[in-house]
Structure 1
Amino acid sequence: MTTTSVAAVGGNFGRGVEENLARIGTLIDDARARGAALLALPEACLGGYLSVLGSGRDGSHDEKPADLPPVMDLGGPELRRIAELAREMTVVVGFCEGDGHERYNSAAAVTGDGVLGVYRKVHQPLGESLYYSPGQEFRAFDSPIGRMGLLICYDKAFPEAARALALDDARVVACISAWPASRTASATSLADDRWTHRFNIFDQARALENQLVWVAANQTGTFGSLRFVGNAKVVGPGGDVVATTGVDEGMAVASFDLEESLDTARRAMFHLRDRRPDLYTATERENVHA
């Protein structure tokens, strides 16, 4: 039996790039000491998220950010530093990627050999498109822990995103987030907040419907007007939460025999096998023209 440990971080990361890199180094050391082969860090962990979130129904912003996340290149010093720290581990980080005149809200999976895979956030909530261009594809890639995929935050609300990665043979999906609490009818306790419940439901649903291991990192604390819900977690292929940080900072770590876990979950009812895509395509076409 081959056991693989995976870890997800709940933590607060702001604009201080050097401070973030130092903290990430400490987290990598901690994950390594706990035997983790994969460590997922939150969305925008290298340079902070947007300091405001639009509240208008049309996605407009009711206030402008005081500053924007720093732009980073795939071949730049920040990801090279992550590679040096990662060594044998696979580390997933979130950052603002620059490509020509475009800015993307991106995630990268990095080992000591460099960048294994990059994902640009496709689904953009509440005016995020004012500051980032959208990504254009969902694609899995090979890593030391096996084939995996990346998603960012709001993507988890769309079943098609995770399903596209599962159909590309991803066994593990790391979904990194800066998921906030509700700004309307918010709860005093983050644990009771309605957006916290949504965050957790989406994580379990995406793992269960695709019968894969789901590793969810998230920001905690506050940034600008946002209050993040934490709840970094690892969800098994049966939709069970194996480890979670709750609303607090921390690291959720869980171990699996990945092949055995997936084979067991898929033995009787294999959701990917039992799909009827010929019917879904027709339904999708009808909905588009409705």
Structure 2
Amino acid sequence: MTITPMAAAAASFGRDLDQNLAQIESLAERARHQGVRLLALPEATLGGYLSTLHTDGPGADSLPPIIDLDGPELAKVAEIAGDMTIVLGFCEADAGTRYNSAAAVTGDGVIGVHRKVHQPLGENLYYEAGETFRTFETPVGRLGMLICYDKAFPEAARELALDGAEIVACISAWPSSRTAGAADIAEDRWTKRFNLFDQARALENQIVWVAANQVGTFGSMRFVAHAKVVGPGGDVLATTGADAGLAVAAVDVGDALATARRAMFHLRDRRPDTYGAEVAVHA
């Protein structure tokens, strides 16, 4: 039996990189005191998210700073991580092209990167879209990463599951509804969607799902928090609710997956020959 404590953070990150790194260190220290081995931080942890996604008014008043994969910021995150695996978001550039990216970092450095594939509203005005979904080995098991709107597409999480993901870290800057929003963030319709997607993606792929999110406000954005850890049966093991903080759950990943897949194994029981060329991947 191998129990892996893991945590998802609901936290607020803006443009100040020194402040971002200090907050990462504080959250990592809190997590380490609880034995956490995998810590998921929000989308745009380093440098903050866009100040708006509106396409019918003024655009973003500033853009997140570019973070180099081999630069001092991620080197500092590696120093903070030590024997922990930390997943966090940042703005990556490749030959002058910006990507909304996530990195998995250990004391050895960056061990995996995901570029956000699915872009909501006007995000394509500021970032190019990624093109791949890949998993990789980490000290806590085989891990896949998604960013925010990626989780609204079943194919994205399914691709990671078919590539052997045991755990998916989905990091977000998921906002409340711009229209018909609720005063109580827990009752907001986009909060409800955020939570439904987390549980559905975990259940349909029978994987452990670790969902981090921004909290509070930034520019015109109000984020819904609700960081959580979801088991492979779709059960929420821990959540921050609408508050900032850490959702921490200790999971025996191998046993949890085996138990969920004992009677009904959704990946094995697929019928790709019936789905048509558009979705019949990994036949």
Query: Shorter-normalised TM-score: what interval?
Result: over 0.9
Residue 267 (structure 2) aligns with: 272
Instruction: Summarize the alignment of residues 16-165 of structure 1 with structure 2, pairs less than 5 Å apart.
Output: 16-54=16-54, 60-165=55-160
Q: CA deviation at 1:217?
A: 0.1
Q: CA deviation at 1:61?
A: 4.3
- RMSD over aligned CA atoms reads 1.0
Deviations 1:107-153 (A, max 9, x none): 00000011110000000000101100100100000000010100000
Segments of structure 2 that go 5 or more residues without pairing to the other structure are: none
Cα gap change, 1:107/1:66 in structure 2, threshold over 3 Å: closer, same or farther? same
Residue 288 (structure 1) aligns with: none
SS in 2 for 1:7: strand
Q: CA deviation at 1:232?
A: 0.2
Q: CA deviation at 1:101?
A: 1.1
Cα distance in 2, alignment partners of residues 164 and 282 from structure 1 = 15
Q: Does 1:250 align with 2:239?
A: no
The number of aligned residues is 280
SS in 2 for 1:70: coil
Cα distance in 2, alignment partners of residues 226 and 242 from structure 1 = 28
Q: CA deviation at 1:53?
A: 1.1
| 8 Å contact kept, 1:215–1:233 | yes
Cα gap change, 1:283/1:78 in structure 2, threshold over 3 Å: closer, same or farther? closer
Cα gap change, 1:114/1:283 in structure 2, threshold over 3 Å: closer, same or farther? closer
Cα distance in 2, alignment partners of residues 12 and 23 from structure 1 = 9
Q: CA deviation at 1:64?
A: 1.0
Cα gap change, 1:85/1:283 in structure 2, threshold over 3 Å: closer, same or farther? closer
Q: Does 1:191 align with 2:186?
A: yes
More moved, 210-219 vs 275-284: 275-284
More moved, 61-70 vs 24-33: 61-70
TM-score, normalised to structure 1, is 0.95
Segments of structure 1 that go 5 or more residues without pairing to the other structure are: 55-59, 286-290
Aligned amino acid, residue 38 of structure 2:
L
TM-score, normalised to structure 2, is 0.97
Q: Does 1:202 align with 2:201?
A: no
Cα distance in 2, alignment partners of residues 125 and 135 from structure 1 = 13
